[in-house]
Chain A
Amino acid sequence: GQNIDQPTEMTATEGAIVQINCTYQTSGFNGLFWYQQHAGEAPTFLSYNVLDGLEEKGRFSSFLSRSKGYSYLLLKELQMKDSASYLCAVSPGGYNKLIFGAGTRLAVHP
Chain B
Amino acid sequence: GAVVSQHPSRVICKSGTSVKIECRSLDFQATTMFWYRQFPKQSLMLMATSNEGSKATYEQGVEKDKFLINHASLTLSTLTVTSAHPEDSSFYICSASGPGLAGGNEQFFGPGTRLTVL
Partner-B contacts on A (CB < 8 A): 30-31, 33, 35, 40-45, 48, 50, 87, 91, 95-103, 105
Specify which of A42, A87, A101 is in contact with B110 (CB 8 Å cutoff): A42
Output the nearest chain B residue to A91 by Cβ-Cβ distance: B105
Given contacts A42-B112, A95-B49, A96-B32, contact A101 B43 (CB under 8 A): yes
A selection of 19 A-B contacts at a CB cut-off of 8 Å is: A31-B103, A35-B109, A41-B111, A41-B112, A42-B109, A42-B111, A43-B109, A48-B101, A48-B105, A91-B105, A95-B49, A96-B105, A96-B107, A97-B46, A97-B49, A98-B34, A99-B46, A103-B42, A105-B41
CB-CB < 8 A to B32: which residues of A? 95-96
Given contacts A41-B112, A91-B105, contact A103 B46 (CB under 8 A): no
CB-CB < 8 A to B91: which residues of A? 40
Q: B97 at the A/B interface (Cβ < 8 Å)?
A: yes
Given contacts A95-B51, A96-B107, contact A45 B101 (CB under 8 A): yes
Partner-A contacts on B (CB < 8 A): 32, 34, 41-46, 49, 51, 57, 91, 93, 97, 101-112, 114
Given contacts A31-B103, A95-B57, A99-B46, contact A44 B109 (CB under 8 A): yes
